[in-house]
Chain A
Amino acid sequence: MKADLNNFPQLNKTKFENRGKEFRLGIPVINAVTVGNSIAVGFGDGTVRIFSSGKSSEPIKAHKGIVLCMAKDGDHILTGGDDGRFLRISLDGNINEISNFGTRWVDHVTSKNGSVVCTSGNIVYLWMSNKKEPKLLEHDSTIGGVAFDSKGRKLAVSRYGGVTLWKKDYSNKWTSSDLIWKGSHNKVIFSPDDRYLVTSMQENQLHFWRLKDKIDSAMSGYGAKVKSFAFVGDSKYLATSGANDAVCWPFDGDGPVGREPICLPYVGKQLVTFVESFPNENAILTGLSDGSVYLSEIEKANNTIIIRSFTEFEVSAIAVTDDCSHLLIGDMGGNILWTSIWDEEKN
């Protein structure tokens, strides 16, 4: 398919597009992170922009090449880039370089309760609150993803062959145990209640472990790699990309073993490329490979509304502000929609 601006289909715009602000920046959107009522967006030219009600920021020149990863850290954001820099950036654009790894990329960043983490190659660099020097946690293979549990006492590190689960005792000593499953594991998350750990894999599937008894299982059947997944609402469902439908696995009770997922279909049979939970509801925002975005209630398949019509570029970021007033959508073609969610809100 080819983007031809002269023949760009003039579909009816959605009410969100009509009242929101659209930015056609032409720079791939890599990630977006909510910080309070602002949303920070990382781009494929190394810049970061902060969006908030009534304001859109000037680009902050953070990295030389790409903003590879981004996470919230209190009222700041953490970013890692292909220039080897690990940065802490304030919402008004002040950059503080935490570390610099030179020609080695900073692949993943995260934080919890004042502790910040970045990974480069097979090493986790962990700065505990108020510590100047990082603690180094080494692994046998390159790290695919990293996540804290809700209390910041456990750190899951996905890699080739499974997940290393680091646990902090009350004397602040970290010890590790292994969750093993053959293959290469990428993104990792805890469920909001910390009962489950989920990874996406190099193969077109996900894997989960129930931590209390280490029961584990694959979630498969996808046509593409699962790059985006999120727990929805009170962790009852895990919404996932990688198929034509948004596939939502039940995580209530004893979890998804032996149970069927709910599949939310969308018009046009495009691939789902991004999913994000809609705060405080059993609802998800689903981004497709043609740029369109929908809001769907998981248990009411017919209750789906279109938020953004198509742009021809795959959706690569969706975020909702903490007060649930605004949302932001970004795609690989560099198009951004910032819009109020409720009719009476201003942009």
Chain B
Amino acid sequence: MQETNKQVPVTVLTGFLGAGKTTLLNRILTEQHGKKYAVIVNEFGEQGIDNDLVVDADEEVFEMNNGCICCTVRGDLIRILSGLMKRADKLDAIIVETTGLADPAPVAQTFFVDQDVADRTKLDAIVTVADAVHLSSQLTDHHEAEEQIAFADVVLLNKIDLVDENGLEVVKQRIKKINPFAKIINTTKCGVPLNEVLNLDAFSLKRVLEVEPDFLTSDHDHEHDDDVTSLSFVSDTPLDMEKFQDWFTKLLQTKGQDILRTKGILDFTGESDRYVFQGVHMLMDASPMGKWPEGKERSSRLVFIGRNLETMNLKEGFENCKSA
């Protein structure tokens, strides 16, 4: 019997060791903001956080027996979030720190899969702290770094005082190529107002309507076959709902492991409502989101972030969904 407005927002904080996650966590815990935040840290975290509301976690990833082949969740998070929700004093937000080498997908999937977690908490946003000096080499060397950028709703590009203007631009282009949706915030020492990283509601379907992706005009060339990239499609011709569902369901079932995130706003023939969805791997949240705004052109937009996207015939698949 939980109400949606009682769901406590959970921010996932990712980023490589040394990027500045602990600096941000310490600010969240010590600044006078009048809010009550719990912080779930991992066992390999940097030292220096001491607070009653800091919880140690083990980053235990396990598979669900739900027929979804890539569906892994964070068991420790289910346990800790369920525990925190039993507290007499209500929390304003929870922040989950992940280790530098963690894949953010199981964390995000936990909020889709576990009913108790979904009833009482909601995934607010994935915030990735990146080191402006080292991000480029980390992206080349570690696929986890790419995933952390690919999943991010916000990238805190930290330590910008240590790179020149040109270097900063190169890093930003690299981030945008992987993830055109992420909002990039330049910081030194994670000096960002907390309301730009907490309580963003980035995983609500409403926000999908508001965020305009910042696509690069350049082509999609990349150095390695397994680079994470993004592709987007737009159509002014309405789509056939049945054809779209057939194509998209099959696509996620067969290629869900390589598709990291998807978002879309869809215009279906004969429907007066906008359909909005967003997904993490094979899991998806979708709903009609009210009428199309008066006087504005209706169109469908679809974005994929993932690996090997060029092998999935996405353009052709999408074109085939258009109503005849």
Contacts and interface: CB of A to CB of B under 8 A. Distances in A.
A281 interface: no
How many interface residues does chain B have, given as a range? Answer: 20 to 34
Contact of A103 (B55, B63, B65, B79): B55
Contact of A105 (B75, B80, B88, B115): B80
B66 A44 contact: no
B270 interface: no
Given A28-B86, A44-B88, A66-B87, A225 B64 contact: no
A292 interface: no
Nearest to B41: A103
5 contacts: A43-B88, A141-B75, A183-B63, A224-B115, A334-B88
Interface string A317-339: 00000000000000010100000
Given A2-B3, A225-B116, A313-B1, A121 B87 contact: no
Given A102-B56, A107-B79, 16 more contacts: A1-B1, A30-B86, A68-B83, A82-B55, A83-B52, A121-B58, A141-B60, A142-B60, A142-B79, A184-B62, A202-B78, A202-B114, A203-B65, A203-B66, A224-B115, A314-B1
Interface in B25-60: 52, 54-56, 58, 60
A64 interface: yes
B83 A105 contact: yes
A290 B86 contact: no
A160 to B, nearest CB: 5
Interface string A1-24: 110000000000000000000000
Given A2-B3, A183-B65, A312-B1, A160 B52 contact: no
A281 B1 CA distance: 32
B273 interface: no
A28 B87 CA distance: 7
Contacts of B56: 102-105
A321 to B, nearest CB: 25
How many interface residues does chain A have, given as a range? Answer: 35 or more
Given A107-B79, A142-B75, A182-B65, A44 B1 contact: no
Nearest to A83: B52
Interface in A20-54: 26-28, 30, 43-45
B3 A225 contact: no
Contact of B89 (A45, A102, A313): A45
B76 interface: yes
Given A28-B88, A82-B55, A160 B60 contact: yes
Contact of B75 (A104, A202, A312): A202
A82 B83 contact: yes
A307 B78 CA distance: 33
Nearest to A182: B65
A65 interface: yes
Interface in A142-163: 142, 160
Contact of B62 (A68, A122, A160): A160
Interface in B110-131: 114-116
A28 B1 CA distance: 14
Interface of B: 1, 3, 52, 54-56, 58, 60, 62-66, 75-76, 78-80, 83-84, 86-89, 114-116
A289 B2 CA distance: 11
A1 B78 CA distance: 24
Contacts of A26: 88
A2 B65 CA distance: 34
A154 B3 CA distance: 43
B87 A65 contact: yes
A227 B80 CA distance: 16
B52 A65 contact: yes
B83 A66 contact: yes
B55 A105 contact: yes
A27 B55 CA distance: 21
Contacts of B79: 107, 142
Contacts of B55: 82, 103, 105
B211 to A, nearest CB: 31
A121 B87 CA distance: 20
A121 B57 CA distance: 8
B107 to A, nearest CB: 16
Given A160-B62, A203-B65, A225-B115, A103 B54 contact: yes
B140 to A, nearest CB: 33
Given A1-B1, A107-B79, A142-B60, A44 B54 contact: no
Contacts of A312: 1
A141 B87 CA distance: 25
A142 B58 contact: yes
A44 B75 contact: no
Residue of B75, B79, B86 ringed by the most chain A CB atoms within 10 A = B86
B63 to A, nearest CB: 8
A287 to B, nearest CB: 13
